[in-house]
Amino acid sequence: MLDRLKGRGANGSNGEKVGEKVGEKVGLGSIRRPVIGLALGGGAARGFAHIGILRTLIANGIVPDVVVGTSIGAVVGGLHAAGRLDTFEEWGRSLQGMRNILGYLDIRLNGSGLLGGEKLATRLEEAIGQILIEDLPIKFASVATEVRTGHEIWLTRGRVVDAMRASYALPGIFAPVLIGDRWLVDGALVNPVPVSAARALGAEIVIAANLSSDIFTHSTTIYSHGAVPAPVVPVAEEPTAKRRFPRLFSPEKTMKREFFGGNGRPGISSVMVDAFNIMQDRITRARLAGDPPDMLITPRVGQFGWFDFHRSEDLIAHGTRAAERALESIQEAIHVLAPAPAGIAPKADEPKAGDLA
């Protein structure tokens, strides 16, 4: 990875000076710092790990100039860009269990999603207000997918909260969001970790955070599989009217059984979540192979569920540890791409620019 960085040249991959900032320090002295981009991937509640990553990078002088995100990555990235990340962190820490979380899930059985999403949207609006992407102090983009065409949409204008909602609108769970004349859903369908968007917005170094690296680490091909002989099932007696009676008046139990599953059979929710996890994992691997980031941070959060928002403290800690493990490599990459100002010779123990080629 560092060998590729060394070959880019002092002023970025295209030879242009992008976002030159003289005198900014990243533990390197008074030199021009490369434009740093941060690509935050999707993962629902696992996105709290992004907070730990951001806090650790900033605490070590690695401040992103460009932030792009998909799904929960768009939420964390947008709140960071707007200076409202503390509010989101406090909300996560205030959740005591699934009961609190279920209070934000306005379930409905009509429309184009199981959840209306209005309660979550209201919470985001309270935190971020009517802030526009154009007015943010740093470059920000949210990635979404257009329903009918499959286009990858980069939201770089308009209200930040609308860009967030569109990016996390998981098909089947949340209803699509209308922005302009396009109906948009979760950006993880096309670009789960949006490295390409960060580069397009001018980043010279892209640090990516992938939250799904350890979910299906051992997925493979089963080359031979088939049905097994069915066990002999004893003939059950015909249920009496008395035994059937409670079923008629327990629709909530029936709904719960169908939604969450039971007796080894997956329910609707687990099938949808697992299917989306599999799809996101395969797309992420393909996209990162074709357009790899300069540095990849992979917190081990696969054991956390999509709705484990009440475990935010543990998730933030995982993100912090993952970022700490990557700090040395990130600092080295920044050092490689950071040219000394004109008229200042490199130190005796530092290689010259020509020696890095």
**Phi and psi angles of residue 113, each rounded to the nearest 5 degrees, phi first:** -160, 150
Partners of 152 in the beta sheet?
145
Look at the block and give the residue holding tokens 């900033």: 58
List active site positions: 71, 186
Show the beta-strand stretches assigned E in 41-112. Answer: 66-70
**Alpha-carbon distance 292 to 282, whole Å?**
15
**Alpha-carbon distance 57 to 21, whole Å?**
18
Measure CA 279 to chain center: 14
Closest CA to 104 of 91, 120, 89, 116: 120
- Secondary structure (3-state) at 146: strand
Measure CA 35 to chain center: 21
Contacts of residue 164, defined as CB under 8 A and 6 or more positions apart, other chains included, come to: 74, 75, 78, 124, 142
Whether residue 186 contacts residue 152, with contact meaning beta carbons closer than 8 Å, is answered with no
Which tokens sit at 55? 């806090």
Contacts of residue 165, defined as CB under 8 A and 6 or more positions apart, other chains included, come to: 117, 121, 124, 174, 177
Q: The dihedral of CA 147, 149, 153, 157: what is its sign? A: negative
Whether residue 136 contacts residue 107, with contact meaning beta carbons closer than 8 Å, is answered with no
CB atoms under 10 Å from CB of 333, counted, come to 24
Contacts of residue 13, defined as CB under 8 A and 6 or more positions apart, other chains included, come to: 204
**Phi and psi angles of residue 41, each rounded to the nearest 5 degrees, phi first:** -85, 170
